[in-house]
Amino acid sequence: MKRPILIHPDPRLKKVCAPVEEITGDLRKLAGDMLETMYDAPGIGLAAPQVGVLSRLIVLDCVKGENETPRPLVMINPEVVASSDETSTYEEGCLSIPDQYADVTRPAEVEVRWTDPDGAEHREGFDGLWATCVQHEIDHLNGRLFIDYLGAMRRQMITRRMVKLKREKARA
Ligand SMILES: [Zn+2]
């Protein structure tokens, strides 16, 4: 089941999310719904607060080619345990900030630890788009958006556009 995606500005997108204490059927259902919502958007990552759930849960799949096998990842309580000094810059966007893009510089490689929906622990290194995406999604769990990396003027301009977009949507 698809879930509505919150649009910035929204106080729920600025909250530090709580750790998942127990993997329940509801949590697995939420993860499935989030993947469906992400693929439908379409997007390459989605964090639980973006659908209004303030828990440390993200989903992502950065496989892009049509002939490549998808790799949906569900990460519960994900944590960056190491980052490279080397950085990379990608033009980022966000399903909660539609049609707005900006260059963001982040560590080029990160090692992430997380729990999967079966309760198994994982630890894996990511680079390229995967590294950017996983850091962007984990940021969401700490109430941080990609526009928080931009200058105040740019951030306010994007925020004003989103306020206008929400007003238009509410009227429609
Ligand atoms: Zn985002």
Domain map (residue ranges) of the chain: 11-171
User: Coil, strand, or helix at residue 43?
Assistant: coil
What's the rounded Cα separation, in Å, for the pair 132 and 12?
22
pLDDT tier for residue 79 given thresholds of 50, 70 and 90 = very high
Q: What is the pLDDT of residue 18?
A: 98
Q: Would the pTM of this model clear 0.95, i.e. be above it?
A: yes
Give the pLDDT confidence of 40-77 residue by residue, as tens digits: 999 999 999 999 999 999 999 999 888 899 999 999 99
The contacts found for 18-21 with CB under 8 angstroms, 24 or more apart, are 18/54, 18/55, 18/56, 19/55, 19/56, 19/77, 20/55, 20/56, 20/57, 20/76, 20/77, 20/115
Residue 94 counted as an annotated binding residue: yes
Look-up of token digits 């951030």: 155
CATH superfamily, domain at 11-171: Peptide deformylase (3.90.45.10)
pLDDT at 165: 96
Burial environment of residue 72 by CB neighbours within 10 A (0 to 12, 13 to 18, 19 or more):
middle
The position carrying tokens 């941080």 is: 144
**What is the model's pLDDT at position 172?**
84
Centre of ligand 1 from the C-alpha of residue 164, in Å? 19
**Span 114-147, pLDDT tens digits:** 999 999 999 999 999 999 999 999 999 999 999 9
Q: Separation of 154 CA from ligand 1 center, angstroms?
A: 17
Task: Report the separation in Å between the CA atom of 66 and the middle of ligand 1, taken as the mean of its atom positions.
Answer: 23
Task: Show which residues are catalytic.
Answer: 137
What pLDDT is attached to residue 1? 96
